[in-house]
Every structure is written in structure tokens, then in C-alpha cells.
Amino acid sequence: MLLSEIKKKALELTDGLELVDFGFALPYTWVLVEGEEGKALGVAMTLPEEIQRYTNSISEPSLEAFIERADSLNVI
């Protein structure tokens, strides 16, 4: 699957990056990471139909955990 390949490549890029902060809300979801070259902010639009009824499925937030959940119906 295409998404599986994207996840695999994204996981390879996480070396040396640390999750600083994140937020999951309407209308945007964002993540702040820090590495050797400084900080970077990623932002994505969160649609109401993507939320539906979710439960927290990530016990310890990390970049790897977020990437692993990218193809889940319950991304949080």
C-alpha cells in the first residue's frame, strides 16, 4: 500500500527528532518537533468527520506513535 510506504519512509526520517508539543483540535492538528537544525511545525486541517468518536490510543506521545497510527480510523 502507498500509505505503508509513506509511513516507512517517515519513520526513517524521525532519527534525531524529538516531539516538543502537539495539539489535536478543530479545525487544525499540529505537531512541533526539534532536531539538530532547530524546530519545525507541521499543521494539517482536521475535518469534523475525521473525529467522530475517538478514544486515546497512544499512551506515550511520540513521533513514532503518531506515524504508526497514520492509517488508523482512530488516529488519536
Distance (Å, rounded) from C-alpha 39 to C-alpha 44? Answer: 17
Check whether 74 has a pLDDT greater than 70.
no
- Write out pLDDT tens, residues 6-18: 999 999 999 999 9
CA dihedral (58, 29, 33, 70) positive or negative: positive
Mean pLDDT of 46-65: 75
| Boundaries of every domain in the chain | 2-68
- Write out pLDDT tens, residues 29-43: 899 999 999 999 999
